[in-house]
């Protein structure tokens, strides 16, 4: 095994069990290693630190598989880590029996670069690092064994693979496409999941608990769901007794799926749903001009800041939509506002929302702080894993 030897003082993050080693920390590589190969990581004084996947093309030059320098990284390693991640979900009452479930949340489950989401008896994997890519077969075998699922589909077409020098990889790794379209039940509503063409692995599982909360808040309310994707929040609002639910997205296919999802739920009052294919920034300005108001507004925009470097421009966009949201609320109304940008921390997000309320001339208070669902754990040693943050705010 090749050895990756760090520069003096650069072992500190490994002592804190942070899984990433940046290029600037690395002194030299002794021996040969190809992308994704496991290397032994040593401090400058040659003290062993653990074993990591080598990524020569990436600024994140290596990702630790283990901080135990004796632990073999082999098929059995992946079987163990995957079984532990699946067992963790099985042990959590609120996740029990969920048909849509994140099984592996990458670094926070000790498997950097590995995402696995289960939809019924299908698992969708997304491998985003050279190390994860190399262990594809072991990961698939581990998932099949731990879940008993029938099929595994790969959705490794995320842009971040480019940073690792990897091209897109998609297709069936085990089994073949099911005869009927995939659908899951979530909080009592049915949702189709397009694993091949949808966003991420097909669905935003991280918002499951927040969608349930929205349902509890919706009775008798005029709800506006901005950035609705396939209408997950909208259907919960209808199930919760909303008077009306207006769903906006700029993606035509997402809205087609959203409408189809509503049709999968004949128990819901379809006549109360209104759909709008539009840019949210523009649509909210138009509502303002038209004097249209709402009781409950969801803002769940895409990642405006992929990294801290984009945080400033993103902050302006977040502030913009939040100002617009605040202006469209009736007295006593609720704003459920999110950011899924890793580069925008909770403190910064709260400040943005506070500034937006001020600019909109609304007095407001936080009722709840919101985050990703329980199947999206955040390792204490990896705060970067906490990308989703939200606030439930009430105006006077
Ligand atoms: N709330 C959704 C997930 C939202 S993902 C859920 O629970 O499933 C973000 C969505 O924003 C995507 O569907 C994308 O098509 C949409 N989007 C991105 N930019 C937009 C814009 N400027 N106006 C409207 N929709 C936009």
Distance between CA atoms of residues 370 and 12, nearest Å: 32
Distance between CA atoms of residues 35 and 263, nearest Å: 47
- Residue 197 · residue 175 · CB < 8 Å: no
Q: What is the 3-state secondary structure (H, E, C) of the chain?
A: CCEEEECCCCCHHHHCCCCEEEHHHEEEEECCCCCCCEEEEECCCCCEEEEEEECCCCCEEEEEEECCCCCCCCHHHHHHHHHHHHHHHHCCHHHCCCCEEEEEEHHHHCCCCEEEEEECCEEEEEECCHHHHHCHHHHHHHHHHHHCCCEEEEEECCCHHHHCCCCCEEEEEECCCCCCCCEEEECCEEEECCCCCCCCCCCCHHHHHHHHHHHHHCCCCEEEEECCCCCHHHHHHHHCCCCEEEEEECCHHHHHHHHHHHHCCCCCCHHHEEEEECCHHHHHHHHHHHCCCEEEEEECCCCCCCCHHHHHHHHHHHHHHHHHHHHCEEEEEEEEEEECCCCCCHHHHHHHHHHHHHHHCCCEEEEEEEECCCCCCCCCCCHHHCCCEEEEEEEC
Question: Which residues is 62 bridged to in the sheet?
Answer: 21, 54
Residue 215 confidence (pLDDT): 98
CA distances to 1, 4, 28, 299, 338 from 56, rounded to whole Å, are 15, 11, 12, 39, 35
What is the pLDDT averaged over residues 232-246?
Answer: 98
For 266-316, what is each residue's pLDDT tens digit? 999 999 999 999 999 999 999 999 999 999 999 999 999 877 788 888 999
Span from the CA of 280 to the centroid of ligand 1 (angstroms): 9
Q: Provide the sign of the torsion angle of the four alpha carbons 19, 21, 27, 28, taken in this order.
A: positive
User: What percent of the chain clears pLDDT 90, i.e. is strictly above it?
Assistant: 97
284 Cβ below 6 A of ligand 1: no
Which residue puts its alpha carbon closest to atom 15 of ligand 1? 251
Span from the CA of 231 to the centroid of ligand 1 (angstroms): 10
CA-based R_g, the chain, Å = 22
CA distances to 88, 96, 97, 285, 353 from 93, rounded to whole Å, are 10, 5, 9, 43, 33
Token pair of 27, please? 């002194």
For 335-345, what is each residue's pLDDT tens digit? 999 999 988 99
Nearest in space to 13 (alpha carbons), one of 55, 45, 41: 41
Residue 58 confidence (pLDDT): 97
What is the pLDDT averaged over residues 99-109?
Answer: 98
Residue 358 confidence (pLDDT): 98
For 343-373, what is each residue's pLDDT tens digit? 899 999 999 999 999 999 999 999 999 999 9
For 76-96, what is each residue's pLDDT tens digit? 999 999 999 999 999 999 999
Which residue puts its alpha carbon closest to atom 23 of ligand 1? 279
253 Cβ below 6 A of ligand 1: no
Q: Is position 340 annotated as part of the catalytic site?
A: yes
227 Cβ below 6 A of ligand 1: yes
Residue 306 confidence (pLDDT): 75
Characterize 270-287 residue by residue with b for buried, 16 or more Cβ atoms within 10 angstroms of its Cβ, and e for exposed.
eebbebbeeebeebbeeb
Span from the CA of 204 to the centroid of ligand 1 (angstroms): 11
Residue 176 confidence (pLDDT): 96
pTM exceeds 0.95: yes
Residue 20 confidence (pLDDT): 98
**Which of ligand 1's atoms lies nearest the C-alpha of 229?**
13
Residue 307 confidence (pLDDT): 75
395 Cβ below 6 A of ligand 1: no
Residue 377 confidence (pLDDT): 97
Span from the CA of 273 to the centroid of ligand 1 (angstroms): 17
Residue 3 confidence (pLDDT): 98
Span from the CA of 202 to the centroid of ligand 1 (angstroms): 13
What is the pLDDT averaged over residues 200-208?
Answer: 98
Q: Which domains does the chain have, with CATH numbers?
A: 3-66 (2.30.130.10), 75-174 (3.30.750.80), 187-395 (3.40.50.150)
For 21-56, what is each residue's pLDDT tens digit? 999 999 999 999 999 999 999 999 999 999 999 999
Residues 6+ apart with CB under 8 A from 394: 332, 333, 334, 335, 364, 365, 367
Distance between CA atoms of residues 6 and 10, nearest Å: 6
212 has a pLDDT exceeding 80:
yes
Confidence of residue 389 (pLDDT cuts 50, 70, 90): very high
Distance between CA atoms of residues 364 and 396, nearest Å: 6
For 63-76, what is each residue's pLDDT tens digit? 999 999 999 999 99
**Which of ligand 1's atoms lies nearest the C-alpha of 302?**
9
Which residue puts its alpha carbon closest to atom 7 of ligand 1? 232
């Amino acid at each position: 095994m090749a050895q990756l030897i760090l520069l003096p003082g650069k072992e500190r993050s490994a002592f804190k069990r942070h899984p990433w080693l940046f290029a600037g920390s690395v002194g030299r590589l002794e021996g040969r290693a190809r992308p994704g190969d496991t290397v032994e990581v040593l401090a400058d004084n040659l003290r062993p630190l653990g074993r990591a996947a080598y990524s020569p093309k990436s600024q994140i030059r290596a990702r630790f598989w283990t901080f135990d320098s004796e632990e073999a990284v082999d098929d059995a390693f992946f079987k163990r880590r995957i079984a532990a991640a699946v067992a963790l979900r099985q042990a959590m009452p609120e996740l029990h029996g969920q048909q849509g479930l994140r099984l592996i949340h990458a670094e926070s489950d000790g498997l950097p670069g590995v995402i696995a989401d289960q939809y019924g008896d299908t698992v969708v994997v997304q491998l985003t690092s050279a190390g994860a890519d190399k262990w594809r077969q072991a990961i698939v075998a581990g998932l099949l064994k731990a879940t008993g699922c029938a099929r595994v589909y790969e959705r490794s077409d995320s842009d971040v693979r480019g940073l690792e020098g990897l091209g897109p990889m998609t297709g069936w790794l085990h089994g073949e496409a099911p005869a009927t379209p995939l659908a899951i039940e979530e909080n009592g509503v049915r949702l189709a999941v397009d694993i091949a063409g949808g966003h991420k692995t097909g669905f935003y599982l991280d918002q499951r608990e927040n969608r349930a909360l929205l349902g509890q808040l919706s009775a008798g309310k005029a709800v506006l769901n901005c950035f609705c994707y396939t209408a997950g929040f909208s259907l919960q609002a209808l199930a919760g007794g909303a008077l009306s639910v207006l769903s906006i997205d700029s993606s035509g296919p997402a809205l087609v799926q959203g409408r189809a999802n509503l049709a999968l739920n004949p128990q819901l009052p379809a006549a109360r749903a209104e759909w709008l294919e539009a840019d949210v920034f523009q649509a909210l300005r138009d509502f303002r001009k038209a004097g249209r108001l709402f009781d409950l507004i969801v803002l769940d925009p895409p990642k405006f800041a992929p990294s801290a470097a984009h945080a400033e421009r993103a902050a302006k966009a977040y502030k913009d939509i939040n100002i617009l949201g605040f202006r469209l609320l009736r007295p006593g109304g609720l704003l459920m506002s999110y950011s899924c940008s890793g580069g925008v921390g909770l403190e910064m997000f709260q400040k943005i929302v506070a500034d937006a309320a001020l600019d909109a001339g609304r007095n407001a208070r936080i009722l709840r702080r919101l985050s990703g669902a329980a199947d999206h754990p955040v390792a204490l040693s990896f705060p970067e894993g906490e990308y989703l943050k939200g606030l439930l705010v009430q105006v006077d």
